[in-house]
Amino acid sequence: MHWLRSSLAALSVAAMIVSAGGCVPRPSVPDDKALSPAELWHSSIERDIEAGPAVITGSVRFGTAGETTRASFLWKSNGLLPASVILTDPLGSIVARIDVSEEASLVFVPSENTVYRYGKDEKQFGLPYGYAELASLLAGDYFAFLGSPRQKTLLSQNEAEVSWSFTGDKGRGVLHISRSGVLSVEKDGWKLEINERDGMPAKLDASKEDYRFVMMIRERTASNAFAPDEFAMP
């Protein structure tokens, strides 16, 4: 259980990173290779997104070389927050239930019969993203995730990639969008790469120095709305 004790904060982040499930997929756009930088920004960043009730399954791994934690998750919500997540170890045993609201996250560890509480502004692993940004990220709402950029400057463009610097409510960063549809964000020493499937995030790969966080989303299933008690500790 040492890995669990040392990783509870990480599990809280894992919950938040998947906290944006059933969503309207990215609208169809022309071949990215034919888009101007302005059109590419609009179709990727300023697209219309509407979150809805969903169940998401996938896996996460995080840590440094030789000290990596792996877990599977099942997540459900009515769109953004609140959300409820069940995490299991590689053998399929439940190691944590995480209930996340806009105010806090509660992590229940069955093996210890203990609940840990984390504040809404607590940032895990030094990630420069708060809970709201992470929820927007998996909803595919990259405009909100980037802090609603009010200023952007085109840095470079070629046949493979377009890059901008941006300034938003959450500070400054650099955004790269490849012509093949991969997005990456550089901010506060972190690099986050977003790979999509059917216009929605399917893989997140965040790294800083020798630390790495990877989330794979296997399946998103639309659902009927969940009752409020679905997101409360029993």
Q: What percent of the chain has pLDDT over 70?
A: 81
Which strand (E) or helix (H) includes residue 138? helix 131-138
Mean pLDDT of 38-51: 88
Between 122 and 68, residue with greater pLDDT: 68
Mean pLDDT of 81-98: 91
pLDDT value at residue 139: 79
Q: Is the pLDDT of residue 10 over 80?
A: no
Q: Which domain holds residue 148?
A: 2-231
pLDDT tens-digit series, residues 138-174: 778 899 899 899 899 999 999 899 999 999 988 899 9
* CATH for 197: 2.50.20.10
Give 230: exposed, middle or buried? Use CB within 10 Å, 0-12, 13-18, 19+. Answer: middle
pLDDT value at residue 202: 94
Average pLDDT, the chain: 83
Question: What residues does 117 pair with on adjacent strands?
Answer: 106
Mean pLDDT of 125-140: 70
pLDDT band at residue 31 using 50, 70 and 90 as cut-offs: low
- Please state, in angstroms and rounded to a whole number, the distance separating the CA atoms of residues 177 and 161: 6
pLDDT value at residue 62: 87
Q: Per the omega criterion (within 30 degrees of 0), is the bond before 82 cis?
A: yes
Q: Is the pLDDT of residue 132 over 70?
A: no
Q: Is the pLDDT of residue 123 over 50?
A: yes
Q: Is the pLDDT of residue 234 over 80?
A: no
Q: What percent of the chain has pLDDT over 90?
A: 43
Other Cβ atoms within 10 Å of 225 Cβ, number: 11
Overall number of domains in the chain: 1
